[in-house]
Amino acid sequence: MGTGNIMTHFARCCNPLPGEPIIGYITRGRGVTIHRKSCKNIQNAEPERLIDVEWDTSSEDLYTTSLKILFSDKKGMLAHVSSLLGQMDAEMLSVQVVSLPDGVHEGRITVAVKDQEHLKKLIMILKGEKEIYAVERLAG
């Protein structure tokens, strides 16, 4: 990221991914917090505390984001979702599943991905599965 040697960390409210437009927010005592430019928490920030930042395109780090997935309660579906994530080189960090009416499960899955394009491909693959009814990225 283009902030030199300043301490930076990523905002958990919006979980920015490489490829997304970002902005830095100068915090009191914690360096710079990196937000997506579209983050609702940054919209009313004091303008003098906002700085331009850019992604370090040479980084091979993985970045965390969360998905909400609605899928069939058919036996083995969570394992199938996990397998798809693995095939796409996405690391599943945590998962919470609740049963909804009408044979549907809702999963909130935290994954580590390379960038925005990696996430888009992952969502596209998941949405292409017959027993997966909906996939959306959560804000944070």
Is pLDDT above 90 for 130? yes
Question: What amino acid occupies position 124?
Answer: M
pLDDT in tens, 6-60: 889 999 999 999 999 999 999 988 899 999 999 999 998 999 999 999 998 888 8
Digit-coded pLDDT (tens) for 46-103: 999 999 999 988 888 999 999 999 999 999 999 999 999 999 999 999 999 999 989 9
For each of the domains in the chain, give its residue range(s) and CATH number, in order of start.
8-51 (no CATH), 63-138 (3.30.70.260)
Measure the CA–CA gap between 139 and 68, rounded to whole angstroms.
10
> Given pLDDT bands bounded at 50, 70 and 90, which one contains residue 2?
very low
Please answer whether residues 21 and 36 qualify as being in contact, where contact means their C-beta atoms are separated by less than 8 angstroms. yes
Whether 20 and 116 have beta carbons less than 8 Å apart is answered as yes
What letter does residue 31 receive in the DSSP assignment? -
Nearest alpha carbon to residue 114 among 68, 55, 53: 55
